[in-house]
Amino acid sequence: MADRSLLTTDYGQHMERRRQRRSQSDTAINITSRMKSTPSLQELITGAHNDSDILTKRNCKEEDDITTSPTSDTVFCDGRKYGSLYSLNSTCTESGNFGKANVTGEIEFAIRYIFKACILEICIKGCKNLAYGDEKKKKCNPYVKVYLLPDKSPRSKRKTAVKKSTVDPEFDESLKYKIDYSQLGSRQLQVSVWHAGALKYRVFLGEVVIPLAEWDFEENSMQLFNWYQLRPKLEKPEDDLIQYSGELLVSARLSVPAQYKNFQFEGKKDQGAPKCQLQVMIFGAKNLPVLRSAGMPNSFVKGCLILPDQAEVKRKSPVLKKEACPQWKHLFVFDGVTPAQLQQSCLHLTVWDQSAFSSSDQFLGGAKLGAKESLGCADLASQAVLQWLEVLRSPNTWMDFTLVLHSNKENFKS
């Protein structure tokens, strides 16, 4: 029984005020105010897109000249991802079960390079006569996935939307990469078609791999849409490509004394050749892997010039701490070398993450310039040779290179 003294005329009013106070307390969250103060997923995506517009305008002022399809809103710039919801979700699709179908059919797409904006654009038109992803149900939900090999990381992946219940899908989408033209010679474009099943079950329907070193981006006829026969995956792992580990920006020149300013590269003969300097400016790196739980690496670069007599000349840059995209701007100088020596030499450039104990520095990636050793992939090896010869044949001239870093430590000396 309630105490009679509590049953006053204003008892009901007191109870109403208590209900109001309780509804606004921490135990009964005010849902409306929380929803107003917390940004929605769409607001977060819109905010990221606005930030990307600022960065994109800063890094490539002429990008406004690009003409794209209405769905072409995926642009990468300096390793960051901007744009479509498909791209935001694509990093989650590597997990799950995968199957294979009997590969049939063709895919239609076009490739072009926008020189003003430094953008590679792949325009996916459609496919025809695809195999069924689910043979029992005679069902196929196809989509297209693109990588710029040898980079198989999520930042290299592009995807179209999924088309439901068709073996002749029409996509009409453009997928883009922000990439310097000088890098295309060491890349391969992998375009693959997949079936999207239930519970992240994916079925491989075929692929096309195009070495971009053989592609003439200045020829108008190469920018037209073409049909390509879909092929099964090659059995050898990753087509013998080495795992991508970022990029190193360098500039190199062969410094020849003034009295030999008209000196020309003359093959392997050393007669009359002056003693020169090989100068390599290490500008910076981007897209480095993050190996430490503490965050950004304390990175530095080692250079090792391997001469024909197996002698090794080593250099090292300063350490830059806690930088995702380090900019060393450090010069390596190798004295007393001749063009004939360098023709048979190889320069190894490796990037490291310094730990508290120098003996346990972590290898982040490496690249080679030179004609002496194989890089494990014929295309990449030939690219390194051409770049090296370009330096030797143009004395006293700086040559800029963006070198793809690879993660197989055993292939490099430091």
Per the domain annotation, does 8 fall within a domain?
A: no
303 with 336, same domain? yes
Strand intervals (E) in 90-140: 98-100, 106-114, 119-128
Q: In this predicted structure, what is the pLDDT of residue 226?
A: 94
Q: In this predicted structure, what is the pLDDT of residue 374?
A: 46
Residue with tokens 């730990």: 355
Contact yes or no for 229/112 (Cβ under 8 A): no
And the tokens for 223? Answer: 């920018």
Could you report the average pLDDT of every consecutive run of 10 residues in the chain (414 residues)?
A: 47 52 42 40 45 41 34 36 34 57 94 94 96 92 93 87 96 94 85 92 94 88 93 62 78 84 56 80 88 75 91 94 91 91 91 80 90 52 79 89 86 86
Q: What angle do CA 195, 199, 200 make, to 5 degrees?
A: 50
277 with 233, same domain? no
Q: In this predicted structure, what is the pLDDT of residue 25?
A: 41
> CB within 8 A of 154, min separation 6: which ones?
90, 91, 94
Domain termination site, one of 212, 239, 266: 239
What CATH number does residue 183 fall under?
A: 2.60.40.150
Q: In this predicted structure, what is the pLDDT of residue 133?
A: 92
Q: In this predicted structure, what is the pLDDT of residue 398?
A: 94
Cα distance between residue 363 and residue 151, in whole Å: 17
And the tokens for 298? Answer: 């304390």
Q: In this predicted structure, what is the pLDDT of residue 381?
A: 58
Q: Annotate 321-358 with b (16+ C-beta within 10 A) or e (fewer).
A: eebebbebebebebeebebbbbbebbbbbbbbbbeeee
- Where does residue 350 fall: left (phi above 0), alpha (psi -120 to 50 degrees), or beta otherwise? beta
Cα distance between residue 220 and residue 213, in whole Å: 17
Cα distance between residue 363 and residue 396, in whole Å: 32
What is the extent of the structural domain holding 218?
42-239
Cα distance between residue 137 and residue 235, in whole Å: 28
Per the domain annotation, does 335 fall within a domain?
A: yes
